[in-house]
Amino acid sequence: MNRLLIGITLVFLACVSVFVYLNPMSTIDQNSKECSIEQCHGLDITCGANAPDQCTLEYHLGDFCRMFINCKVSAGICTTVVDDTFALCKDCVESCQQEDLVDASDCENECRMLFDNNYESQY
């Protein structure tokens, strides 16, 4: 009886070991670089392991709002950390997109003056 119990236990442990080896947990080390913003521009932001190697130098309306969002590993999972200001900034900039390009730029400048304490208007 003891041999049977030991045999079953060993087979079970072997199966579990193979399963864990073939299906590693999808967690990320706390210091991993696999957790960052995955888009170069815009306000629809996700965090994950697919960060671009390079971004273009072009500027999209509202790119400055991205300073209010970060990616962080929490409990081994890459999460998006959103400052309360991000939603307000995003709403302000999205209201500007109803304007023509010149007016949208002026409108975005007003949003930037509201939310970016380090910004000095060029106007």
| Tens digit of each residue's pLDDT, the chain (123 residues) | 555 444 444 344 343 343 334 444 444 444 455 899 999 999 999 999 999 999 999 999 999 999 999 999 999 999 999 999 999 999 999 999 876 778 898 999 999 999 988 887 665
How far is 38 from 71, CA to CA, in rounded Å? 10
Q: How far apart are CA 91 and CA 106, in angstroms?
A: 15
pTM value surpassing 0.75: no
Within 10 Å of residue 105's Cβ, how many Cβ atoms?
Answer: 13
Where in the chain are the domains? 27-115
- Please give the structure tokens belonging to residue 72: 């962080």
Residue 35 · residue 78 · CB < 8 Å = yes
Q: Tokens 């236990």 correspond to what residue? A: 9
Specify whether the CB–CB gap between 78 and 48 falls below 8 A.
Answer: yes
